[in-house]
């Protein structure tokens, strides 16, 4: 499921005007320092692309877009100054005037050569282009791919709320005194960016005042009057109420381009408790406001992101923060939506009532909150990231399950590797089994490997070949992006950037890291287990016969497939199968980190075993595999057992999960699907098993609770199951809105 950029409410003529003005501004400031150029372009973009409020909205803030603009990450192929060819062509296909066609053609000529991703690609050397050709993973066959974005940013919204727009501008103006030209341009750029944010506040205030001119009920009118005052106040002053704090966060979040919201209870809780405890608002009004925020977040339609983290160690005012946790869980329970992705960090210090409320929410089918154990994750992050214990307490899951350190680190996943595809080319001498295209070095195939160890050595060597260039690409992407962009809104709310006078990627961020998304690891492990047993130990399958079976998708080789399917599988607490999964896991994690150290100057370069729907998408480009999986079908979800292979029960499956080392990566995902009957009638047993799982080293759990027949029925009668939520991978979705192959993949998962 791929979402496209939300289009602006602007008319076609207005879109063309904004794009031309943006381009003219870029050209005017092309030779200026990058922070100034970016700031002036942002002034054109905002609030011009912001959409209108609806009668149901409690807050201003609907982000639209035009096909030319600035955004750190709207999709995985947009970064910095972007040129959205798809939506640009849609405008060209409209009935526009000859003059407008001339303008559009000129814009196209300019941005084809000047968009940020294009400049990044031009910086790649021949070796990198050979190893990782310019392919896009939803459509093209490859073992490794590049992605383009600055994702996973966790901004310091507490700093924004503490100081407000006007005070931050004063601080920046003061810092400009006595500094060098480069720093002065950086500070001035952030000032201008804040002015654009203030303009957006006033833009929505005018919109609210206009709405008040229409006949509306008294309750709505009272809210809009309060909102108009709030928007005026936060356009320069510090927020002083829960409503004002929410509104400022929503607008900054939208305008900055950040897609996640960090540890929300650390920056909104005090406004909530102060308002309620003083009698300024009731608990019911507070709940209404947070529900309204949840709605504002959902409108952006970013189900792979929009993480809201609550709970856990390292919070200053735990009493207020815990109260906010309850409010957030209740909002999620009442809204029953796919975003925000509420994430609960917990430890032995977490009050029992919060855990009960969390499980109540999960039991109602919300799929949220996702559960993260601080007892496991804090020491794991400390080791993996090489930071102090106190710093590790600020770990923050984002997106589909990756970790960063809140407003201290960057860990953009700018690369993707399909380990099952790597195994495919290993078995077939570097070539795609179906197309014959060479995708990797020709280091032999399965018919050339006399021992299992030889096969594994070449598989590892192929992985490491791609890892070298994926690491180099990550750093290259940062370097070129930094030469073009200051990412002013990110820099303003990231620790150290303002103090150092340096932009985010220009030495401003404390920990500049990267991550690599790895997929197909469990199918790879199960495939290696089968090959080891059947080809090299029992010799019941000839290497050449196996290769022919894979090429034919087992047509005519059904007996071979039966043997492969019967081989031991990960997820059943089987020592041999689980040991192979550990080997695959530890190899990709450790070698990714080594590649980062050897080939780049990044603070860290770590694997993330997460999932959006890439297990399904990449499976379409992957041949049949030696675990018995058919060609072009989905792969296992993250580090979960392949669908239906966990046949020894929940305890055995959980025992397998905890064998994979959590201290050598930057995030992993576990999805568990419970029946409503199991979760309600046998709740004590479920709780006991989950407790043992976390105590045994389980780091995280994403839980779906659904009726045993609901999914099949929903495919037949989707109109009756519009609100059926499921956990896909690192995101939730309404089941009926998924593609059929994604629905089938979820149905195939074991239901406990």
Helix (H) or strand (E) holding 348: none
Average pLDDT over residues 359-375: 96
Average pLDDT over residues 133-162: 95
Q: What angle do CA 100, 103, 107 make, to 5 degrees?
A: 140
**What pLDDT does 6 receive?**
43
C-alpha–C-alpha distance, residues 719 and 255, integer Å? 35
Other Cβ atoms within 10 Å of 367 Cβ, number: 26
336 burial (CB, 10 Å; 0-12 / 13-18 / 19+) is middle
Q: In residues, how long is the chain?
A: 752
**How far is C-alpha 61 from the chain's CA centre?**
21
C-alpha–C-alpha distance, residues 481 and 484, integer Å? 5
Other Cβ atoms within 10 Å of 357 Cβ, number: 19
From the CA atom positions of the chain, what is the Rg in Å?
26
C-alpha–C-alpha distance, residues 99 and 101, integer Å? 5
At 284-330, the pLDDT tens digits run 999 999 999 999 999 999 999 999 999 999 999 999 999 999 999 99
Q: Is 498 helix (H, G, I), strand (E, B) or coil?
A: helix
Domain residue limits, the chain: 12-127
C-alpha–C-alpha distance, residues 270 and 705, integer Å? 33
Is the pLDDT assigned to residue 694 strictly greater than 50?
A: yes
Average pLDDT over residues 151-171: 98
At 433-452, the pLDDT tens digits run 999 999 999 999 999 999 99
DSSP3 helix / strand / coil % (the chain, rounded to 5):
55, 10, 35
Percent of all residues in the chain with a pLDDT value above 90, rounded to a whole number: 89
**What pLDDT does 75 receive?**
62
φ, ψ dihedrals at 572, nearest 5°: -120, 15
Reduced 3-state DSSP string for 310-327: EECCCCCCHHHHHHHHHH
Residues 320/269, Cβ–Cβ less than 8 Å: yes
At 56-71, the pLDDT tens digits run 999 999 998 899 999 9
Average pLDDT over residues 403-409: 98
C-alpha–C-alpha distance, residues 458 and 454, integer Å? 6
Helix (H) or strand (E) holding 415: strand 409-418
C-alpha–C-alpha distance, residues 746 and 743, integer Å? 5
Is the pLDDT assigned to residue 696 strictly greater than 50?
A: yes
């Amino acid at each position: 499921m791929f979402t496209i950029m939300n289009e602006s409410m602007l008319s076609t003529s207005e879109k063309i005007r904004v794009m031309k003005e943006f381009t003219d501004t870029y050209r005017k400031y092309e030779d200026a320092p990058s922070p100034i150029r970016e700031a002036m372009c942002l002034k054109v973009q905002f609030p011009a692309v912001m959409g209108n409020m609806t009668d149901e909205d409690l807050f201003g803030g609907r982000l639209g877009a035009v096909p030319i603009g600035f955004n750190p990450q709207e999709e995985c192929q947009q970064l910095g100054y972007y040129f959205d060819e798809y939506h640009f062509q849609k405008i060209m296909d409209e009935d526009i005037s000859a003059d407008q066609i001339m303008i559009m053609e000129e814009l196209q000529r300019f941005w084809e050569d000047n968009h940020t991703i294009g400049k990044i690609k031009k910086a790649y050397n021949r070796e990198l282009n050979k190893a990782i050709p310019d392919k896009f993973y939803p459509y093209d066959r490859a073992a490794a791919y590049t992605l383009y974005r600055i994702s996973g940013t966790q901004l310091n919204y507490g700093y924004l709320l503490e100081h407000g727009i006007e005070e931050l501008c004063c601080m920046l103006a003061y810092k400009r005194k006595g500094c060098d030209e480069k720093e002065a341009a950086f500070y001035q750029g952030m000032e201008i960016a804040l002015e654009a944010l203030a303009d957006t506040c006033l833009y929505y205030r005018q919109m609210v005042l206009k709405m008040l001119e229409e006949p509306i009920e008294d309750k709505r009118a009272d809210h809009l009057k309060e909102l108009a005052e709030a928007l005026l106040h936060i356009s320069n002053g510090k927020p002083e109420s829960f409503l004002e704090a929410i509104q400022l966060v929503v607008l900054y979040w939208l305008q900055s381009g950040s897609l996640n919201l960090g540890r929300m209870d650390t920056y909104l809780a005090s406004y909530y408790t102060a308002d309620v405890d003083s009698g300024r608002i009731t608990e019911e009004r507070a709940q209404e406001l947070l529900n309204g925020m949840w709605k504002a977040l959902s409108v952006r339609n970013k189900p792979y992101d929009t993480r809201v983290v609550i709970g856990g160690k390292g919070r200053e005012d735990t009493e207020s923060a815990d109260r906010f946790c309850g409010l957030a869980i209740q909002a999620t329970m009442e809204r029953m939506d796919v975003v925000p992705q509420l994430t609960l960090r917990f430890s032995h210090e977490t009050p029992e009532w919060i855990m009960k409320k969390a499980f109540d929410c999960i039991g109602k089918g919300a799929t949220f909150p996702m559960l993260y154990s601080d007892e496991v994750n804090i020491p794991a992050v400390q080791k993996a990231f090489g930071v102090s214990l106190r710093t590790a307490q600020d770990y923050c899951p984002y997106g589909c399950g990756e970790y960063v350190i809140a407003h201290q680190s960057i860990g953009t996943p700018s690369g993707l590797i399909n380990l099952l595809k790597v195994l495919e080319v290993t078995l077939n001498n570097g070539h795609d089994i179906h197309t014959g295209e060479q995708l990797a070095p020709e280091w032999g195939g399965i018919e050339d490997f006399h021992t299992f160890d030889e096969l594994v050595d070449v598989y590892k060597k192929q992985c490491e070949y791609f890892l070298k260039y994926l690491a180099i690409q990550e750093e290259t992407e940062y370097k070129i992006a930094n030469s073009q962009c200051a990412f002013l809104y990110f820099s303003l709310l990231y620790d150290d950037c303002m103090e150092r006078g340096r932009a985010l990627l220009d030495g401003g961020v404390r920990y500049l890291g990267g991550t690599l998304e790895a997929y197909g690891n469990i199918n790879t492990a199960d495939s290696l287990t089968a090959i080891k047993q059947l080809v090299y130990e029992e010799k019941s399958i000839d290497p050449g016969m196996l290769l022919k079976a894979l090429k034919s998708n087992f047509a005519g080789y059904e007996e071979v497939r039966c043997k492969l399917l019967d081989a031991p599988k990960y997820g059943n607490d089987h020592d041999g199968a689980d040991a192979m999964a550990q080997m695959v896991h530890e190899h990709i994690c450790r070698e990714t980190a080594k590649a980062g150290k050897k080939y780049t100057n990044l603070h860290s370069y770590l694997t993330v075993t997460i999932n959006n729907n890439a297990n399904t998408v990449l499976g379409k480009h992957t041949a049949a595999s030696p675990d018995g999986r058919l060609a072009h079908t989905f792969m296992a979800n993250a580090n979960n057992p392949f669908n239906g292979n966990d046949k020894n029960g929940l305890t055995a499956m959980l025992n397998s999960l905890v064998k994979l080392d959590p201290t050598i990566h930057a995030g992993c995902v576990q999805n568990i699907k419970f029946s409503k009957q199991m979760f309600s009638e046998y709740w004590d047993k479920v709780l006991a098993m989950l407790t043992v799982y976390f105590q045994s080293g389980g780091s995280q759990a994403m839980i779906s609770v659904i009726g045993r027949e609901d999914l099949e029925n929903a495919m037949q009668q989707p109109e009756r199951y519009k609100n059926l939520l499921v956990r896909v991978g690192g995101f939730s979705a309404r089941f009926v809105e998924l593609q059929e192959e994604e629905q089938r993949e979820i149905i195939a998962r074991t239901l406990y």
